[in-house]
Amino acid sequence: MNSIIYDVIIIGAGASGLVCARECARRGQKTLVLEKEASAARKILVSGNGRCNLTNSRVSPAYYYGNTELLHSALENFSYQTAYAYFTDLGLLLVEEGLGRVFPATGKSTAVAETLKLAVWEAGAQILTSTEAIRVKKGELFTVTVANGERFAARKLVLACGSCAYPQAGGTQRGYELAKMLGHSVNTPRPALSGICLKETAFSRLTGIRSQVRLTVLENNRVLDCAEGEILFTNYGINGPAALNVSSTVSHTLKHGNVAMEINFFPQLADGTAFLKARAERYTNRKPKDFFAGILHENLANLLIDFIGLRKTIPVGSQTPNTLNQMCRIPCRWPVTATALRPWNEAMVATGGVKTTEINYNTFESLKCPNLYITGELLDVDGKSGGFNLHFACASGFTAAAALSKEN
């Protein structure tokens, strides 16, 4: 056993663990961070396509899936304004882009990773890399056993191990196992912020095409979720911001089987069907392909024509009333079927994780095991695309540090 007794051991040097470590150490807590990878902050580095979308000026519980009370509390403690001031104070220059997304001004995620690591070091916390915690035990103290057999002791323990998403940047199941060792239960993690596989293989004809749409997720004709924005057609189905933003709901709903979705290719119009009907009356002599010229991508129009069974050489005004009706309706409510989400190595986050009902909303302390704190993506909280996940990771680490330092 290592002879030092730490005030706090934090398992995981991601955004959540690093913010927590800095906040604990600057309050005088003897803090050790254990990180299994050879370097800290690996997910920060890959985030935002290497640009790191760190937070969002619109941050609110509405952008998350998870326990609303816990989210309210965390986001009150660490609001957008607090986050902006916090990172600026650490020496990071930030810029806001469209949709409230905030990035480091350098345009590189290394700026965020290096700033956080520096802040942890300056505050006096120690980070041990290539050190995987494989067992945790609670006696009078917490004992953490790492992969080489060495043991570390602390009065308080923070699990900030992240989720099992994106294993190539550190994602692992280990955090769930450690939480279970200390009495917690875990809602099965499922991939989220990941591409959606569609049953309708015909869409692979559109691979590489981007389109502005409204995507709706349905269950028994009830709207479960909805997102507006760009989708990218791929050889398996759809990706892109709008697809990612409904992927958490799709992932959950897939538990019960395939998921019905609708794509509206005219999201900017209040009534796309009425628009198409008026257009059909105006351009009665146009053949279907010409009818869609100027309003739909050519390949998409061809797919639609085949899907509905429009007769290609006959003007729209001479199509049967049924096909004409479908021609005006389908582009606004094109039914598709989600069969799966892309696998863990493509998923940016996990939906599911340690049950938040077992966590104190105000402090992130475990309700199962006193002096244990659980933060970040290891919890059953996931955000939409736009900086919300990193914001929550930091907010929960920040909140836990304040609470656990106070109670000492």
- Smallest gap from residue 371 Cβ to ligand FAD (A): 19
- Smallest gap from residue 159 Cβ to ligand FAD (A): 8
Categorise residue 162: left if φ over 0, alpha if ψ from -120 to 50, beta otherwise: left
Closer of 273 and 366 to ligand FAD (Cβ): 366
| 279-301 per-residue burial string, b: 16 or more CB within 10 A, e: under 16 | bbeeeeebbbbebbeeebeeebb
Residue 86's alpha-carbon distances to 81, 89, 120, 400, in angstroms, are: 8, 5, 13, 16
Name every residue whose Cβ is closer than 8 Å to that of residue 373 and which is 6 or more positions away in sequence: 20, 156, 157, 158, 159, 363, 364, 365, 366, 400, 403, 404
Closer of 77 and 216 to ligand FAD (Cβ): 77
- Smallest gap from residue 264 Cβ to ligand FAD (A): 27
β-pairing, 382-383 vs 237-239, is: unpaired
CA separation for the pair 400, 300 (Å, rounded): 50
- Smallest gap from residue 354 Cβ to ligand FAD (A): 11
Closer of 8 and 330 to ligand FAD (Cβ): 8
- Taken as a whole, the chain contains a residue count of 408
Element (H, E) at 135: strand 133-138
Residue 121's alpha-carbon distances to 24, 146, 220, in angstroms, are: 12, 22, 53
- Smallest gap from residue 27 Cβ to ligand FAD (A): 20
- Smallest gap from residue 338 Cβ to ligand FAD (A): 21
Closer of 15 and 153 to ligand FAD (Cβ): 15
Closer of 43 and 252 to ligand FAD (Cβ): 43
Closer of 299 and 363 to ligand FAD (Cβ): 363
Closer of 303 and 372 to ligand FAD (Cβ): 372
- Smallest gap from residue 229 Cβ to ligand FAD (A): 15
Residues lying near ligand FAD in the complex (CB under 6 A): 11-17, 34-37, 42-44, 46-48, 52-53, 132-133, 160-162, 165-166, 169-170, 172, 174-175, 348-349, 376-377, 387-390, 393
Residue with smallest beta-carbon separation from ligand FAD: 14
Return the amino acid letter for 106. Answer: T
CA separation for the pair 242, 239 (Å, rounded): 8
Whether the CB-CB separation of 201 and 336 falls below 8 Å is answered with: no
